[in-house]
Structure 1
């Protein structure tokens, strides 16, 4: 779960990191002043777009077979057989 949260945070912060790198590298601003005067509203919107595109891609292209049936975990002979999509 922590991995998912960290990926989401990284996806949201990606536009901020790209903007800061651009300002420092191209405009020659000191790294501690890179975000001064930044267009925060546009960066937040871009971060949300990147986050939602990333989440949509993750949901759409991962997981089990969409045509399969879910088989829950069962206890047989004292051993738990894991569930899954068959």
Structure 2
């Protein structure tokens, strides 16, 4: 669960991190200046981060699912290891 929270926080902060890195690399921060620039578009950076999180959640939500009729086998602890869960493939109908 903590991994999911960390991934979403990174996605949320990614536009701001990229913006601050760009400002730093292009010399937007003078040598003696500390902190963040006062004219930074933080509202737009936040909204673009939220949009990025929503897009990723939507894409993974629609791609990582089984088809109707498929069974899900949950993760299990076997031989001292956790075997990940999986969507079991639908058996093919026989040709006869």
TM-score (norm 2): 0.63
Please report how far the alpha carbon of residue 85 of structure 1 lies from its aligned counterpart in structure 2 after TM superposition.
4.3
Which residue matches 2:91?
none
Q: What is the Cα-based RMSD across aligned positions, in Å?
A: 2.4
Match of 1:16 in 2: 16
Unaligned runs of 5+ in 1: 73-82
Contact 1:20 1:35 survives alignment (8 Å): no
* Richer in helix (by share): 1
Q: Which residue is equivalent to 2:62?
A: 60
Is the partner of 2:29 in helix, strand or coil?
coil
Any idea what SS the aligned residue of 2:54 has?
Answer: helix
Structure 2: gaps spanning 5 or more residues: 75-84, 89-96
CA distance in 1: counterparts of 2:51 and 2:38, whole angstroms:
23
What TM-score results when the alignment is normalised by the length of structure 1? 0.69
